[in-house]
């Protein structure tokens, strides 16, 4: 079946601009995660959505980062006033209720801030 | 919080040899330990996982062992093939977080030469 999809696959933006990254989880998966992967920091957790519960935002690095999940499906990660240190690959993952620990990742969005 | 250490950072083997990657974790209450394979330009792919009530799990050429007393777990790949070349990540789930966000090791770049 279809896996997790993310768009765009690549995004180049100028410092100070806002960007929106999109994630479509696997159909029926109620949990959705955002991670960031950068050369120096490895894979870092950003935010977690589970059903209609309040999201776990404990991994967001600053208040310039926010995320929404509409209708329990698609999620958008927004970065405001981008900085060069925001350059990274942003990965989305989802998990099914039957196996909540198993996370399936999308291909990621490579963000470059110039 | 949970901390996952992974060794080695790079590993080169000849086709047909075995490869072993080791990880240690700090939170004794962690109970789920997945391994991911990431190929260039793709998202991490879940290849095998183990839970704290199991000491070893095998899937064809891949096996994972867990030593809860020592707080370490290992990935074993036998009869390596060139297509096994990728970056491998171990992870653990800490139990003091609201969700089930993964804490990743820094990754091991495996190169299999033919």
Q: Mean pLDDT, to the nearest integer, of B60-73?
A: 96
Kindly tell me if the per-residue pLDDT of B100 is higher than 80. Answer: no
Could you tell me if A39 lies within 8 Å of chain B, comparing CB atoms? no
**Ramachandran angles phi, psi of A35, nearest 5°:** -130, 160
Residue numbers in B near A59 (CB within 8 A): 101
Measured between alpha carbons, how far is A45 from A104 in angstroms, rounded to an integer? 14
Residue B73 β-bridge partners: B23, B66
Give per-residue pLDDT as tens, A42-78.
Answer: 899 999 998 888 888 989 999 999 999 988 799 999 9
The C-alpha atoms of residue B85 and residue B40 are separated, in whole angstroms, by: 10
DSSP letter at A56 equals: B
- Residue A73 token pair: 């499906």
Interface of B with A (CB under 8 A): 32, 34, 36, 41-46, 49, 89, 91, 93, 97-107
């Amino acid at each position: 079946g279809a896996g997790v999809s993310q768009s765009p696959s690549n995004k180049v933006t100028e410092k100070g601009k806002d960007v929106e990254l999109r994630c479509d989880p696997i159909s029926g998966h109620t949990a959705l995660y955002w991670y960031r992967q950068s050369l120096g920091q490895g894979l870092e957790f950003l935010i977690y959505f589970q059903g209609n519960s309040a999201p776990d935002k404990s991994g967001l690095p600053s208040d310039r980062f926010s995320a929404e999940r509409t209708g329990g499906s698609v999620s958008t990660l927004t970065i405001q006033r981008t900085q060069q240190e925001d350059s990274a690959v942003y990965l989305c993952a989802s998990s099914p209720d039957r196996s909540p620990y198993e996370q399936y990742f999308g291909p990621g969005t490579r963000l470059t801030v110039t | 919080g949970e901390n996952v250490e992974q060794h080695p950072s790079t590993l080169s083997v000849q086709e047909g040899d075995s490869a072993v990657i080791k990880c240690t974790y700090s939170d004794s209450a962690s109970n789920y330990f997945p391994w991911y394979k990431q190929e260039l330009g793709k998202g991490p792919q879940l290849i095998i996982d183990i839970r704290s009530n199991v000491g070893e799990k095998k899937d064809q050429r891949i096996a994972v062992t867990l030593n809860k007393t020592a707080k370490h777990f290992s990935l074993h790949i036998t009869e390596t093939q060139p297509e096994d070349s990728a970056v491998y990540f171990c992870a653990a789930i800490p139990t003091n977080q609201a969700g089930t966000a993964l804490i990743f090791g820094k990754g091991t770049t495996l190169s299999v030469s033919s």
